[in-house]
A and B are shown apart, each in its own frame.
Chain A
Amino acid sequence: MISGVTELAVSVSVEDRDGDSRTVVRLVGEADVTTRALAEVLGVEAAKKPHLLLVDISELTFIDSAALNEILQAHRKLRADGGRLELAGPRRAVARILQLSAIDQIIPVRAST
């Protein structure tokens, strides 16, 4: 297993908004092939089958194909369970990677949470 010191902080909160609960996973730092916390947290939260799993990437400064793949897998699992995953608040550089990888054609991207 690859372990590394790329710094990514992952925090989870469950919010009620308009009577509808949603899970917000907030990513702060850089997400790459060495940041295992991303896959672990997404796996745990997706298994709880929330209606909406919102991944707040407003404080994410870099993401690579391995991390994108983890998000894509969580998206597929949630969709199979009748829920959905969305990305929120990408900075310009990350938004470009979402566009280049065509992830933004698969997963809804909103401007903010």
Chain B
Amino acid sequence: MTFPSAGSRVRVTSGGGGFEAGAVVLDERFDASTLHLLREQVAACMSVVGLPDDRGEDVILAVHELAANAVRHGGGAGRLLMLAADSTLQCQVSDAGPGGGPWPVRQGHGLWLVRAVTDELAASYGPHGSQVTITFRWQGSGHLGAQAT
């Protein structure tokens, strides 16, 4: 798929692994050497999104686990795209392969953690890579609610 640039708005209705509409709050490539930076970048986004503090930690953990899996099993690198809308945050982690099985099987304990903290998880995989989208929902309006209708 084609990734939107930061600050743009997207709506993916098919093939996007459960993506809805929203504002792009983060779009970053990562590899093993930048996993810790990715966590910091996600943390910095939490105040922008308006997620409650404790759920922000959940987002950092879940995104890290997906990114770490991409580093270990998805060719060593990947891309994170975060979309925020009213009371909803979606994080999509994609990698370029090499495949070999669905994420839920390869993920192991990491996916257990991801499932434990997310409201929804959609995954697709194939010979050209894997794509996982996780969704967080919370009560009340996010800071971006007025913009993303």
Contacts and interface: CB of A to CB of B under 8 A. Distances in A.
A66 B36 contact: no
A34 B32 contact: yes
B20 interface: no
Interface residues of A, number: 21
Contact of B36 (A7, A65, A69, A93): A7
Contacts of A5: 33, 36
A11 B39 CA distance: 24
Nearest to A2: B32
A32 B54 CA distance: 20
Interface in B88-138: 108-110, 112-113, 116-117
Interface of A: 2-7, 30, 32-34, 62, 64-66, 68-69, 93, 96-97, 100-101
Given A2-B32, A2-B71, A33-B71, 10 more contacts: A4-B32, A5-B36, A32-B35, A32-B64, A33-B35, A62-B60, A64-B61, A64-B110, A66-B68, A66-B110
